[in-house]
Amino acid sequence: MRIDILVNIKNNKYYSDYLKVKSSWYKELYINPNSFNNFVEEVKDFYHLRFSDKLTKSLNTLDIITNIVSNLK
């Protein structure tokens, strides 16, 4: 595996944790280092790290708070 990929994996908790869940990526990244971008996208999907996921979570939280405040009135 290329050194830059190993460094990225080591420096990112989500990447290293995901490799524990899906160890088949070790082989894939060793054989085809160009698939690292696919790996990153899969990690983002798995851990809901996309901007849209964060926005949805924030909106849900805001909705809950709004409901609580309206029920207190």
Tens digits of residue pLDDT in 18-69: 999 999 999 999 999 999 999 999 999 999 999 988 898 899 999 999 999 9
- pLDDT of the residue at 6: 95
The two structure tokens encoding residue 11: 């420096």
**What's the whole-model pTM score?**
0.77
- Minimal CA–CA distance to 29: which of 21, 37, 18? 37
Instruction: Please state, in angstroms and rounded to a whole number, the distance separating the CA atoms of residues 24 and 7.
Output: 18
- pLDDT of the residue at 54: 87
Which residue's entry shows tokens 């990153």?
40
The two structure tokens encoding residue 59: 């909106």
